[in-house]
Amino acid sequence: MLKITNLHANIGDKEILKGINLEVKPGEIHAIMGPNGSGKSTLSSVIAGREDYEITAGHIDFEGEDLSDLEADERAHKGIFLSFQYPVEIPGVTVTNFIKTAINETRKARGQEPMPANIMLKQMREKMGLLEIDSAFLSRSLNTGFSGGEKKRNEIFQMAMLEPKLAILDETDSGLDIDALRIVSNGVNKLKSDKNAIIVITHYQRLLDYIVPDFVHVLHQGRIVKSGDKSLAHELESKGYDWLKEEAAL
Amino acid sequence: MEALKDKLESSFLVLENELNGEAQSAVHALRREAFQRFLQMGFPSKRHEEWRYTNLKPILKPDYRIFPKEDTSVEFKDIKRFFLSDQDTYKLVFVDGVYSSWLSETTHQGFDVCTFSNMLHKYQDVSDAYFAKALPKDEALAAVNTAFAKEGAFIRIKKNITADKPVELLFVSTDHGHEIMTQPRNLVVVEENAEVTIIERHQSLSESAVLTNTATEIFALRSSRLNYYKIQNDNDTASLIDSTSIKQYRNSSVNMGTFSFGNKFVRNNLNFFLEEEHTESTLDGITIISEGQTVDHHTLVDHKVPNCYSDEMYKGIYDGNAKGIFNGKVMVHPHAQKTNAFQQNNNVLLTDKASIDTKPQLEIYADDVKCSHGCTIGQLDDEALFYMMSRGIPEKEGKALLLYAFANDALRNVKLPALRKRLNKQIANKLNVNLDFEL
C-alpha cells in the first residue's frame, strides 16, 4: 500500500529525513517511535503532503503511484489521512459543516455524487456513538475551545467519517487521560480492517497497549535505526532510547 | 470638482424656483443654510483629515445630471432580484430619485412607511423635530444632501408597536445615456418601545457613472429597538457616499450592519450619538472587494453620557488592487462613566497590491470605563489551510471556507433568516465558491 524508498526531506536548508525506507501493507499496524526531534512528525507531514518540506531524494509510492506531485487534498482523496498532533482551531466553521465539506469534496474528486444529508447524519450518529461524542459537539466551531481530549476524539471522528485506507496517527495519545485514551483506541481498533492500514506515531509505549502494532520502528536522527515487533516497544519503555542512540552512533 | 460645485449651485437655484410656497418653510431654511455651509466648505480634498486616505476627485469628475428625467420603464421584474426572497416586506422603491408608488408597498396602519416628501407635506411636527437634527454640520456631502433633500424614505414606528414586517428600501438608477447624481434622504423615527428592521440598497441599472449621495437620519427613542442593514453591492460604475447619523435615547438598542461587496467606490460616514443613558449600539461591517474597488468606512460612536454600551466589528477581505479604509472613532466624554466601548477591525489582504488603511481612534476622557480596540491585518493561516487540505478540501474551497468563517462573525446581529441567507450567498459568490451550507 505505502512504500517509502530512501526518503530525504529538508525544511529550509536543514535535512530532517536522511533516507527512510518503510513498507506498509493492507491490514498492518506500524508504530514509529523515537526521541524528540528524530523526524517522526516530519515523516507524517511529508506523507500527507505538507508544502513546507522539500523532498530532496527518494520517493513515496501509495498503491503504486508516486505521491510527490500530488497536493495534500489529492492525497486525501486517494485515502491518506493524517490525524494532527495539534489539530487547528477554525472558528466559525462547525464540525458538521467541516466534515460535510471534506466528505463531499472527496466524493466529488472521486466522481461520486454528494452524500445525501440523511445518510451523512446517520453515519455521524453511528460514529459519534463509537467515540462517545455528545451530539452538541457537532454544532461547535471546529476545535475552537476544545480540550486536548476533545480535539483528538474529533480527529478520530473525522477519520471514522472519511474511512481512509491509510491513517497516520501523529501523537494521538498526547494530552489524553486514560479514559480518553481508551475511547480513542477503541475507536481506532473498530475502524481497523484487513483492507486498511495504520501508522501510529508515538513517544510512549502506553498507546501501543491499546492499539497493538505488527511492527515497531525506531526513528533517530532522520533514519529508522531499528525495526522489530511489539516487544521492541516494551524494550524501549524499560530501557529508554539511549542504548539505541549509542548503537546508532557506532 | 469645481465644475460639479458650480453645477450644484445652479441646480440649487432651480430647486428653489420650483418650490413656490414651500420656499418660506422651516425645512427650506435648513436646506439653504446647509447649502451655504457646503459652498463655504467645498468638497473635501485629501488635505482634509477625514479624507486623507481617499481621493474624491475622480468620483466627482463626471458631468453628472442632477435632476435626471423621470424614467417609468422600470418594472418589478427588473428589480425583483434586489429584494429578499421568501420574506414578506414593506417596500419603498425610488427610481432616479423619484418615488415609484406602483413598485412600492407602503403602510400607514399603526405606523408610517412612506416617503420623505409625504412627511414634509403631511407632518410638519415631524420635520420640525427631526429634519437636519442628527447629521453633523461639518460634513460637506451631508450638507449637499440636506440642501437637496426632497425625496427618500420616511419610516415612523409609533409607540409600543413592533412593525409586522421588515422594510426594504431600494433606490434604483436607470440608464439615461448620461451620468447621474442622486440625493436620497431618509428619516427614520422609532418611537418609544417600538421596533423595526430596515434593509437599504442602492442599485444602478445603468452602464454610465452613477453617484448616489445619500443621507439618513435615525432617531431611536426610549426603549426602542432598531435593526438597520445596508447591502452595498452595486455595479462597478456606481459610487456611493452614505452619511448616516443616529441619535439614541434611554434604553434603546440599535444594530447597524454595513455589508459592502460591490461598487466602484463607497464612503460610509456612520455616526452614533448616544444622547441618554443605558443604550446599546452595535456596528458591524463586512467588506469583500476586489480589483478596482474602494470602500472607506468612517465611524463615530459618541459616548456623551454614562452607562452606554457600544460594540463595533468590521471585517475586510481585499483582493486584486482593492483599497480599504477603516477609521473608527470612539469618543468618551468626561462624565460618560461606566461606558463599555469595544471596537475591532480585522482585515485579510489576498494580494500584494491590495491595501487597507486602518485607524482606530479612541478618545477617552472618563476614568471608570471599559474600552478596547484592536485591528489586525493578515494573510490566511497556512496551518489551517493545510489542515483542511489534509481532509480532502481543495485549496480554493479551503481558502474560501476560512475567509467565509473569518467574515461570518460580523453577521452576529443579523437575525432575519432571509437576510442571513442572502448575505451568506453573497459572501460565497464574492469569494467565488459554491458552499452548500450556511455557517
Torsion angle (degrees, nearest 10) of CA B385, B389, B393, B394: 90
Amino acid at B375: C
Higher pLDDT pick, B381 / B153: B153
What are the pLDDT digits (tens) for B228-246? 999 999 999 999 999 999 9
The strand ranges marked E within B174-293 are: 180-182, 185-190, 195-204, 210-220, 225-232, 238-248, 253-260, 265-274, 280-289
Q: Do A76 and B439 touch (CB under 8 A)?
A: no
Q: Is the pLDDT of residue A233 over 80?
A: yes
Is the CB of residue B16 less than 8 Å away from at least one CB of chain A?
no
- Count Cβ–Cβ pairs < 8 Å, chain A vs chain B: 85
Distance between CA atoms of B56 and B44, rounded to whole angstroms?
A: 8
Taking residues A207-213, report their average pLDDT: 93
**Chain A, 8-67: which have a CB under 8 Å from a chain B CB?**
48-51
Answer for the pair B262, B232: CB distance below 8 angstroms, yes or no.
yes
Answer for the pair B142, B103: CB distance below 8 angstroms, yes or no.
no
**Chain B, 349-408: which have a CB under 8 Å from a chain A CB?**
381, 383-384, 386-395, 397-398, 401-402, 404-406, 408
Q: A79: nearest CA in chain B? A: B392
Taking residues B308-333, report their average pLDDT: 97
pTM of the model: 0.86
List helix spans (H) across chain A: 40-48, 72-78, 95-109, 117-130, 148-162, 178-191, 230-239, 242-249
Answer for the pair A54, A9: CB distance below 8 angstroms, yes or no.
yes
Answer for the pair B352, B324: CB distance below 8 angstroms, yes or no.
no
Which of B274, B141, B326, B115 lies closest to B215, judged by CA? B141
Which residues, including other chains, have CB under 8 Å from residue A31's CB and lie 6 or more apart? A199, A200, A201, A202, A208, A213, A215, A216, A217, A230, A233
Q: Name chain A contacts of B387, Cβ cutoff 8 Å.
A: 84, 87-88, 90
Enter the ipTM: 0.95
Taking residues B7-31, report their average pLDDT: 87
Specify the CATH number for the domain of residue A85.
3.40.50.300
* Cell numbers describing residue B76: 418589478
In chain B, what are the domain boundaries?
Answer: 382-439
Taking residues B194-214, report their average pLDDT: 95
The per-residue pLDDT for A239 is 85
What are the pLDDT digits (tens) for A27-81? 999 999 988 889 999 999 999 999 889 999 999 999 999 998 899 999 999 999 9
The per-residue pLDDT for B439 is 43
Give residue for cell 409609533: B158
Q: Do B397 and A97 touch (CB under 8 A)?
A: no
Per-residue pLDDT band for B435 (boundaries 50, 70, 90) equals: low
Expressed as residue numbers, the domain containing A41 is 2-249
What is the DSSP secondary-structure string of B389-408?
HHTT--HHHHHHHHHHHHHH
- For chain A, how many structural domains are there in total? 1
Answer for the pair B103, B74: CB distance below 8 angstroms, yes or no.
yes
